[in-house]
Structure 1
Amino acid sequence: MSFSPDSRVDLGRFWSTIARSAEIGQGRENGLARLTLTDSDREMRDQFVDWCKAAGLSVMVDEMGSIFGRREGSDPSLPPVVIGSHLDTQINGGRFDGIAGVLAGLEVIRTLNDLGHVTKRPIIVVDWTNEEGARFSPPMVASGVFVGRYTTEWAHDLIADDGARFGDELARIGYRGTMPCGFDVDGYFELHIEQGPILDAEKRQVGVVTGGYPSFGMRVRFDGETAHTGPTPMDLRHNALIAGARFLTAVDDIGWDFAVMDGKATGSRLAAWPNKPGILSETAQCVADVRHPDLITAKVMAEKMRRAAHEAGAKAGCTVTVEDEWAWGGDIFDPDMVALVRAEAVRQGWNWRDIQAQAGHDAYHMAMRYPTAMIFTPCKGGITHNNNESCDPEDFRAGLNMLLHAAVARADR
């Protein structure tokens, strides 16, 4: 056998890896709670490494714990084509978010092994550490370090709610690698479930991602002071919990103000201390974000969000510290890479459409430095970050085979 225009992946084999992943770090019924750098994350990493070695890949782990399985090309000196996503999940996560993208890369490798095809450039499949940000904020942190957006030292010092330090947890589970973060990449592909209802509602088999909704997020800390909830006069209170609550409800209002044109604003986190009855909270940390298909409008929403933080702090008599800000999205994907994916959708005869991403992905960081493209596969009703996230094997057939041919075309240049 050899690689040909009619070559196809083994869908059943891909699905078997999805099923095995679904056994590791189980959460609510049908779902996963495989938070990054936990014991279940280690178990999944070990399984992924075993799969990579069985496929003949050399395995490398960088200082952020991201795992790279390399299949050598006929010219090892050329920059590799990289395929990947993440294996960590939300605390009430599904079985496909991120996971499908990593295992899709593995299936591309296995298919090439079956066919005995050696690409000109190496192909690497990657599992990025901490894409979700569910345990350590911000999200997409390892891919951010890879492209130089964050430093390794800064990321290693991140602290989880349970008090764990990122770098220490990497070492504890045995995945604090020694390889420096970052190397030259020829092109990056990421397959992902849509995490939205469009493909499923339109009965499309696949989406060609042209860009992402411009999105802006921030992590804010409010500092007040503890006091008794009974005798403390209202004008002498500095209740950080109230500052955080006001901020997050203001962010929600921003979303409704711009909802008519598909704007969205989310207050996703409020963590206060001591957060107990009878005492005002001294500190509160909030995470919020805004997004809109139009960049200028998204920037307006982001400015309103920043003002809301300072107004909420002032009204509650608390100081405000913006601990972190991030932005992603827009027309960031490489036109040639997108055209390559689209050409495969047409050539293979799938029912496809162009589509914008609305969630954050490691591909956003990779696109800052390297030619990048994404492929979306349908998920039932667009339900995601939920244990009821659902896909069938057929939902992946088009995307997997487009990924196979697009990656090989790129790697054989």
Structure 2
Amino acid sequence: MAANPDFSAVTQAVTDLRVDGKRLWDSLMELAKIGGTPKGGVCRLTLTDLDRQGRDLFISWVRELGCTVRIDPIGNIFARRAGRNPDLPVVQTGSHLDTQPTGGKFDGNYGVLAGLEVLRTLHDANIVTDAPLEVVVWTNEEGSRFVPVMMGSGVFIGEFTLEQALNAVDREGISVREALNAIGYAGTDQVAGQPVDAYFEAHIEQGPILEAEDTVIGVVTGALGQRWYDVELTGVEAHAGPTPMPLRRDALLAAADLITTVNRIANNHAPHARGTVGYMNVHPNSRNVIPGGVTMTVDLRAGDDATLTAMDAELRSACADLNRFGVSSQVSQVVYFPPQPFAPPLVEAVRDGAGALGLSAMDVVSGAGHDAVYMARVAPTAMIFVPCKDGISHNEIEDAKPEHLEAGCNVLLHAMLARAKVS
């Protein structure tokens, strides 16, 4: 039987479809003006007036394409392009528009605007997918103003309640509820619980691997699990001169030993384990006083829960062993994200898309948290990474090549089309 010529034409049109890389870049640069910093970065903290301006710009762009826009009570924005069959579950993509205080132009923003560019490309080509498509802007992914991080996606999947999120306050005592009302984004649309067929998220890598391997596409197979701790070490402060070395109870000396232990724990569980001490406060922090107290953070990450559990046990054992310095320790776990594998069929769709486009690709694991980590708990999920210069992110000098951003967006386009289908 001869092939249906109309179907063949549609299939070829889809195969040949490419995004407009210049339009994607120009949109990123226009968005970056909102909260732009003298060093070329972006400071657009969540639920500030600058965040409102960024949200308003995004909504104006999707409405030009005829998308319907819904805003839920935590301020998440859902821009939907209708499919032929409105009863089919939606195929989503998205990320966030909020930044760190010294953030860059691409973290989060790229994922949102790559989704926008997918919709623009389909609009220009007059291609309608069977399933509806949706670009999501998640509220407060960064957590730089309000805690918890990944707030919008966390509420969406039920990780924490809407009331818990709305009652969170910033350093000035302003609540999320007050901030949403102030910028006009306290939505009323009830979107949580809607069926999601698939969720894709495009992102700069925020690490150095792709650039080091001269590879364009990171096929993200999952995200590292994370355990964060607050550690308190208690010794005795004493005069630095009269106190002999063997009689000291130096909390900072114990902390230094723990830092090297954290590094050793991670190295012993290579290649995907990570161990970091990122914050330390020393008491009394005086030049000629032996430190009597240290509070510090420990961040452990691993690709599987068994490894993460083993690292946890090793950390706790190391802290208990600090009594050899005459120092007591208290360890409090404050965050736990289990390792999150992504859906093999969607991962394969990303891999196939890169191959069909002739792009170099390699499997990678995300070391950072993303909204995709939460979405993977309720829907098949995958991520697409592209390189960033020197692996630098959460920094005003964060940078990425236009051709890499375009390539990642093309992979996103074809992965979404493969899932949403065109008949």
* Shorter-normalised TM range: 0.7 to 0.9
The residue aligned with 2:128 is 118
Deviation at 1:179, TM superposition (A): 2.0
Asked if the contact 1:136–1:166 (Cα under 8 Å) also holds between the matched residues in 2, the reply is: yes
The 5 Å alignment of 1:194-213 reads: 194-212=205-223
> TM-score normalised to the size of structure 1?
0.84
Q: Which amino acid counterpart does residue 258 of structure 1 have in structure 2?
A: A
Show CA shifts across 1:280-328 (max 9, x none). xxxx99764211345422222234556788999xx98998865x42214
The 5 Å alignment of 1:98-137 reads: 98-137=108-147
Asked if the contact 2:205–2:387 (Cα under 8 Å) also holds between the matched residues in 1, the reply is: yes
* Whole-angstrom CA distance in 1 between matches of 2:321 and 2:55: 44
- Flag structure 2 segments of 5+ consecutive residues without an equivalent: 1-8, 240-249, 286-293
* Whole-angstrom CA distance in 2 between matches of 1:76 and 1:287: 48
Asked if the contact 1:252–1:266 (Cα under 8 Å) also holds between the matched residues in 2, the reply is: no
Asked if the contact 2:319–2:329 (Cα under 8 Å) also holds between the matched residues in 1, the reply is: no
* Residue 386 of structure 2 is aligned to residue 382 of structure 1: no
* Whole-angstrom CA distance in 1 between matches of 2:193 and 2:174: 25
The residue aligned with 2:246 is none
* Residue 72 of structure 2 is aligned to residue 62 of structure 1: yes
Asked if the contact 1:216–1:302 (Cα under 8 Å) also holds between the matched residues in 2, the reply is: no
Compared with structure 1, are the counterparts of its residues 309 and 139 closer, same or farther at alpha carbon in structure 2 (3 Å cutoff)? Answer: farther
The residue aligned with 1:405 is 414
Asked if the contact 1:136–1:158 (Cα under 8 Å) also holds between the matched residues in 2, the reply is: yes
The residue aligned with 1:254 is 262
* Residue 351 of structure 2 is aligned to residue 342 of structure 1: yes
Asked if the contact 1:252–1:267 (Cα under 8 Å) also holds between the matched residues in 2, the reply is: no
Compared with structure 1, are the counterparts of its residues 252 and 84 closer, same or farther at alpha carbon in structure 2 (3 Å cutoff)? Answer: farther
Deviation at 1:252, TM superposition (A): 6.8
Q: Which moved more, 1:256-265 or 1:91-100?
A: 256-265
The residue aligned with 1:281 is none
Deviation at 1:126, TM superposition (A): 0.5
Q: Which amino acid counterpart does residue 399 of structure 2 have in structure 1?
A: S
* Residue 309 of structure 2 is aligned to residue 299 of structure 1: yes
Q: Which amino acid counterpart does residue 74 of structure 2 have in structure 1?
A: M
* Residue 193 of structure 2 is aligned to residue 148 of structure 1: no
The 5 Å alignment of 1:205-224 reads: 205-212=216-223, 214-218=224-228, 220=230
Aligned-residue CA RMSD (Å): 3.4
Of 88, 93, 96, the residue aligned with 1:86 is 96
Show CA shifts across 1:378-411 (max 9, x none). 1111111111111121111221111111101211
- Flag structure 1 segments of 5+ consecutive residues without an equivalent: 231-241, 276-283
* Residue 375 of structure 2 is aligned to residue 366 of structure 1: yes
Aligned residue-pair number: 391
Q: Which amino acid counterpart does residue 124 of structure 1 have in structure 2?
A: E
Asked if the contact 1:106–1:125 (Cα under 8 Å) also holds between the matched residues in 2, the reply is: yes
The residue aligned with 2:196 is 185
Asked if the contact 2:95–2:201 (Cα under 8 Å) also holds between the matched residues in 1, the reply is: yes
Q: Which amino acid counterpart does residue 169 of structure 2 have in structure 1?
A: I
Asked if the contact 2:261–2:318 (Cα under 8 Å) also holds between the matched residues in 1, the reply is: no
